Structure 1
């Protein structure tokens, strides 16, 4: 009898411990093409789910839940979710997500990762997302498109500083300020990869930049280390080893050759027989992207060094996934160490964020003034210079460029109409 009683007590204790799970929070993270709902739990979830139509619903059954059927207050909202409701009994809870339309839900558990504990995650892809506005047809003078990627976001807070501040809350405001500076510059246009506080997979970030035909991708992050001593900014480019691996991987993705090879894909029809040609084009594209990225990184370090301490004074090579696009020069900028109390305090300052954004803009503008894409406004403006040859006169040049002699004289601060061979004149 004593043995049976002990077994009963152990069974009751086991049941009580199993039923100790509890929903502690509900958070909605909307993004342009996906909505993520996160249920914070006190223990690993025991769950099942299914979908219903007419009306569209996602039903999640949670077992071994204590605290009845009430959900905590929901944080955030999404057009895809009409309501989240619940019902249940002493140790079970049914959660129903009323949806605006049909979607293929993906429900999975996540183990604790600071600052979060156990989570049940619901990803609701939008089968008809808001489409990015396609870039205009190439004009005689187009804008240079800079894709700005604010690192981390949503459920991914990035590194955490000594005061508990998240990396994602530093990268987004710096990215927004940089975008504003770029958009105010004639001939340049900013494209934010992440416009708000939501998560985007690293592979998707380069795809978004490619969709907008970006000339450069700048990914903004804050560094971290296990000790508080390291500090300062650094700039990273793709390593040669990762570049070689990526070219090989992309050669196998024949369905994406038209996307990655651009107009050359119209010629390379049979990638199996003409694999060497596709590889040559991808190699050239990757090489151009890496060389350009290294040049941009040098310009950025030069400007960052004026407003922040530099952790590394030369561009560093790494295998970060966001740098791997063969057709888009890409850099990753670590604006400081969030694990360093001094750097964290600076990066939280709006004044310092503005300085960082301004330094990045100055560097990017200077690079594209030196090396503008051939069909860009920057290239057109740069081309409006003329080196005087033998036999040319001010009146002849005015006629050739369809401007007045007075305009030529005033722009070049000439006191007479006399010009010399080899002289460079600016053309209005």
Structure 2
């Protein structure tokens, strides 16, 4: 077993006092935002962690009162090659009653350790979140992705035209072969390739990130319309589960990815996902992500369950300043707002840990934001009614935590009741998912056409 090395100054050493805890499961949730390691046990675990500084950076975790059994060793098999943060995992019996986990890291991280009480189907959980030391600017990433797509589209046009000219120039290339002179490629390309980025930017598969003060980048940021898409749940939080086992977190991610692709096909429009894989994002972080890209619209996507399998139909919700518009809306909002407890939020380290903060967020939500949210909600609801059943024919309102950005029109869409066997089957069907995507896309586009976003100065 490799030596742990010296601890960094100020490294966190945390312990949860307990004895005789038995580990019943281990899980790794890799994502570009962060990687989460979860250790589940039948009693609270006693553990500490620190980072090494001699040689490669490592995260060392010591588990007290443990033996290196099969449950822990299963962690090695769960490591994926594309994990952005962990390169390798080693497990060994460091002392007679201490198991040491050593995680070789691919980049510097800020590890966060916290414990979760039993909730839902989970027992005691000890969680380690590995977050990057330097957070990526999501708006800059969105713009760079937009420019890569524009370059790829331009290259596709070049390739198609070049292929056509090549066929015309080849023997037997068609009736115009004898009359068409083959033009030189350098003369053709500038006429058809779109100008994406500064003229001096080098052509490369991975473009050099533009400077933050680049005026051309700033202009493109100001002219872009950004829609934040929020597939609910994820990671430790599966959301609702249908009669045959379809998980809400999976189906709403599929819909979100399809909708992002559909919106990104519209010039001048770009969609950002709060999560693009199977990992957990706290509710307040979903709002923060939308605010960091200065989104013009926020759409949270769900597929809820109800106490009886008879409930069916799509619903659209906006925020309410005066309480829920119905008992069902209040019940659904309470379930969605409980996502943090299931998914695993470190309340001690969270910026959203005080009820007064939550009340302040709600107070900040202006009447104008809610008015705009109701408008876009009606457009989306009308489109959803054309492809399936509606649970309610009016946009409902309740205190959903993810709808509380005071400066962004925000709606939450319950695409169907996954607890209804017929609707679960439809949600599983790729063709129906595409119908949902088209309905959402059409409603969003119609609202944007009727209510074009005001020109804004985005901070890049």
Q: Same fold (TM over 0.5)?
A: yes
> Who is 1:267 aligned against?
none
In structure 2, relative to structure 1, the CA distance for the partners of 1:91 and 1:344 (3 Å cut) is farther
Structure with higher Rg: it is: 1
DSSP-derived class of the 1:147 partner: strand
What is the CA distance between 1:248 and its match in structure 2? 6.8
Q: 1:47 to 1:329 in 2, by over 3 A?
A: same
Pair 1:132–1:239, CA change in 2 (3 A): same
Which residue is 1:303 aligned to?
383
Partner of 2:35: 35
1:232 & 1:288 partners in 2: Cα distance? 28
1:396 alignment counterpart: none
Correspondence 1:337 to 2:417? yes
Q: CA deviation at 1:22?
A: 3.5
> For residues 332-411 of structure 1, what are the structure 2 equivalents within 5 Å?
332-375=412-455
Rounded Cα–Cα distance in structure 1 between residues aligned with 2:69 and 2:299: 48
Q: What's 1:148 paired with?
A: 229
Q: Which runs of 5+ in 2 are unaligned?
A: 1-18, 144-216, 325-355
What is the match of residue 51 of structure 1? 50
Q: Following the alignment from structure 1 to structure 2, what is the Cα–Cα distance between the partners of residues 62 and 140?
A: 47
Which residue of structure 1 aligns with residue 303 of structure 2? 222
Q: How does 1:26-425 map to 2 (within 5 A)?
A: 27-41=27-41, 43-55=42-54, 56-65=57-66, 68=69, 71-72=73-74, 73-77=76-80, 78-88=83-93, 92-134=98-140, 136-138=217-219, 142-241=223-322, 249=360, 286-375=366-455
Note the C-alpha offset of 1:116. 4.2
The answer to whether the 8 Å contact 2:79/2:88 transfers is: no
Q: Deviations over 1:111-154 (max 9, x none)?
A: 44455444321112211133324364346982321111111111
- CA distance in 1: counterparts of 2:69 and 2:33, whole angstroms: 34
Distance 1:315 1:208 in 2: 25
Answer whether contact 1:167 1:222 (CA < 8 A) is retained.
Answer: yes
Q: Distance in 2 between matches of 1:307 and 1:82?
A: 46
Q: How big is each residue's C-alpha offset from its partner over 1:237-270, in whole Å with a ceiling of 9 and x where there is no partner? A: 0011379x8897259xxxxxxxxxxxxxxxxxxx
* Unaligned runs of at least 5 residues, structure 1: 1-17, 252-278, 377-428
Give the Cα separation in 1 of the matches to 2:263 and 2:386: 20
Q: Distance in 1 between matches of 2:295 and 2:51?
A: 41
CA distance in 2, matches of 1:210, 1:108: 27
> Cα distance 1:64–1:233, how it changes in 2: closer, same or farther (>3 A)?
same
Give deviations 1:330-380, integer Å, cap 9, x for gaps: 00000011111111111111111111010000111111111212449xxxx
Quick check: 2:114–2:127 contact (8 Å CA) kept in 1?
A: yes
SS in 1 for 2:138: coil
Query: SS in structure 2 opposite 1:145?
Result: strand
C-alpha separation in 1, matches of 2:452 and 2:64: 60
Shift in alpha-carbon separation, 1:242–1:23, aligned structure 2, 3 A:
same
Cα-to-partner distance string for 1:16-43 (whole Å, 9 max, x where unaligned): xx75723543x322333322112244x2
* Higher strand fraction (1 or 2): 1
**Structure 2 CA distance for aligned equivalents of residues 228 and 111 of structure 1:** 30
Which TM-score applies when normalising by structure 1?
0.69
